[in-house]
Amino acid sequence: MVNKSLLPVRFRLPLLGPVVFLTRGLQFNLELLLFRGPAALFQNTWSLRPQVKRAGSRRALARGLARAAVLLGLANLALCPCVLGWRLLLAFFSYAEGLKRAPGSLGARRWSLYARHYLRHFNELGHELRARLGRGHAPATRYMDSFSSPLLAVLARHVGFFAGSVLAVLIVLTVYDEDVLTVQHILTAITLLGLVVTVARSFIPDEHAVWCPEQLLQRVLAHVHYLPEHWQGRAGRAETRAEMAQLFQYKAVFILEELLSPLVTPLILIFAFPRRALDIVDFFRNFTVEVAGVGDICSFAQLDVRHHGNPQWLSRGHTEAPPERQAEHGKTELSLMRFALSNPRWRPPPPARRFLGHLQAQPEGLVASVLAAGGLVAREPRFGPPCSTASATASLLASLRSPLGTAPCAAPDSPAEPEDRPALSESRLRSLSRSALLAEVASAEMSLHAIYLHQLHQQQQQQPQGPGPQPAGAPKHPFVTTGSAARASQLREMPLGGWAEEEEEEEEEETMT
């Protein structure tokens, strides 16, 4: 429902503009309303109510669901003083000690609750999502830190200077004479001045840092796998940063939203949710399938490219889904690829198998050149001695098909014997189990495919292409760069399925020459 934008969590306020509001309190109320409450659409944990599956009952169910939302909102409004007091006490006892020990912790960032739903793959387990978002935390932090306000930096420098000067004088006086500590409120002043200095320093950018927002955003995409389409080519815009801040918010903003939740949640349930009630009932009726031995599940969980694929995400020729049944942001295709990499023993159905074979048939050198162009892959010690970015990426992909510990640094078609290839370090192998190592390599391959699918989607949006080869003079593929992948640089812009035919034609031309 988050993927199809059915839940009332996005709003446009007069002064603040687009706002996303999803807290743990609101999520609990939505789950109670849809799944566990007396008026829920599910009669138990595995099956819908029979009337939900009948089209003639949709309006009656929508009216009942809207009425239940209003009653639940009124109940939240009546309990608001108690819940708000509990939230204030919980926040104070949870963060007071940490704030005293590390005053800058409120300026740290975390993935919002909305981001955890927006970025989550279909059928992705909770610990897998946390691991993936954990890997994307550092690149996302660097991207957000690349934006700085010159005016705010000047103010922070002046405030930090004056607060630091007074703090230094007070510290010197306390060292010179201990009786200074007996002065009333002197300890309070020292604590507050230290807090002001710490906060001011967080707004002063590093004068030696050089940022490339586009490259940093591509690094974020490599880990989180989903970014809005209109961010492409606009990574340096303030609007993109503001939208990214909705997904990757300050911890202070998270605490503030949780404190405001008892006040805002009743308003959303009373005024915003009833307008979505009919669409939500239709969603449960249209996107529910019954699986023997399991019960009623969301049809998106089947990762069916044929029924939920999007032609602009490499599903052309593999999907029959109308626009209203397509998953947004390429989630079906990316979720299918992630599930296949995370579960190598899974035997997908024929449509999914054909799509996966279609995607994995891409030349490894092409993907390597993509990441070499964007600077997305840097050499890491565990992959052996230094080598080129393209060959390191290709060797990483080749390691999926080679025995454990034989990740070559040379090109995949190098004549070197397996024992001559640099292997993963012994300390790294000892620290990681076989399953953990395979999961790490599968995560790296998923990052490559996520970058590839997003770039291909962007290209198809800008210039739709047909199933056949492009005419002479057509623009080059956006991923292909000169240098590391000479073979890939000769490919023309064409659908993924046309690469094999193009290679055969070129081989025939070379033979004739």
pLDDT of residue 427: 56
Q: Are 21 and 9 in contact (CB under 8 A)?
A: yes
Answer yes or no: is pLDDT of 422 > 50. no
Average pLDDT for residues 127-138, to the nearest whole number? 94
> Which pLDDT belongs to residue 35?
92
Range 486-496 average pLDDT: 33
Residue partners of 98: CB distance under 8 A and separation at least 6 = 105
Q: How far apart are CA 124 and CA 51, in angstroms?
A: 30
Structure confidence at residue 148 (pLDDT): 80
Structure tokens at 376: 């997305």
Mean pLDDT of all residues in 35-61: 91
pLDDT in the model for residue 257? 95
Identify whether the C-beta of residue 66 lies closer than 8 Å to the C-beta of residue 39.
Answer: no
**Side chain identity at residue 468, one-letter code:** G
CA torsion sign, 360 to 364 to 366 to 368? positive
Q: Are 20 and 246 in contact (CB under 8 A)?
A: yes
pLDDT value for 60? 94
Q: 243: number of CA atoms within 13 Å, CB side? A: 15
Higher pLDDT: 427 or 160? It is: 160
Sorting pLDDT into bands at 50, 70 and 90, what band is 468?
Answer: very low
Task: Classify 295 as helix, strand or coil.
Answer: strand
With a cut of 80, say whether residue 99 has pLDDT above it: no
Mean pLDDT is highest, among 100-109, 174-183, 260-269, 489-498, for 260-269
pLDDT, residue 74, reads 97
Highest mean pLDDT among 53-67, 350-364, 442-456: 53-67
Helix axis angle for 80-101 and 251-267, nearest 10°, is 180
Residue labelled with tokens 């109320």: 29
pTM of the model: 0.75
Asked if 277 contacts 60 with a C-beta cutoff of 8 angstroms, the reply is no
Farthest-apart Cα atoms in the chain, separation: 97
Continuous segment of H or E residues that includes residue 307: helix 305-308
With a cut of 70, say whether residue 2 has pLDDT above it.
yes
| Inter-residue contact 423 to 407 (CB < 8 Å) | yes
pLDDT (0 to 100) of residue 134: 94
- Specify the amino acid at residue 159: V
State how far the Cα of 113 lies from the Cα of 115, in Å rounded to an integer.
Answer: 5
At residue 220, the pLDDT reads 92
Which residues are CB-neighbours of 231 under 8 A, at least 6 positions away? 217, 240, 243, 244
Query: What are the two backbone dihedrals, phi and then psi, of residue 210, each rounded to the nearest 5 degrees?
Result: -120, 120
Q: Reply yes or no on whether the pLDDT at 248 is more than 80.
A: yes
* Residue pLDDT, tens place only, 358-399: 887 765 544 554 555 444 444 343 333 333 333 444 444 444
Query: Which helix (H) or strand (E) is 111 found in, with range?
Result: strand 109-111
Contact between 344 and 130 (Cβ < 8 Å): no
Looking at per-residue pLDDT, the higher value among 151 and 405 belongs to 151
Distances (CA, A) of 496 to 167, 230, 362: 64, 24, 7
Mean pLDDT across the chain, nearest whole number? 78
pLDDT (tens digit per residue) in 282-330: 999 999 999 998 999 999 999 999 999 988 887 777 888 898 999 999 9
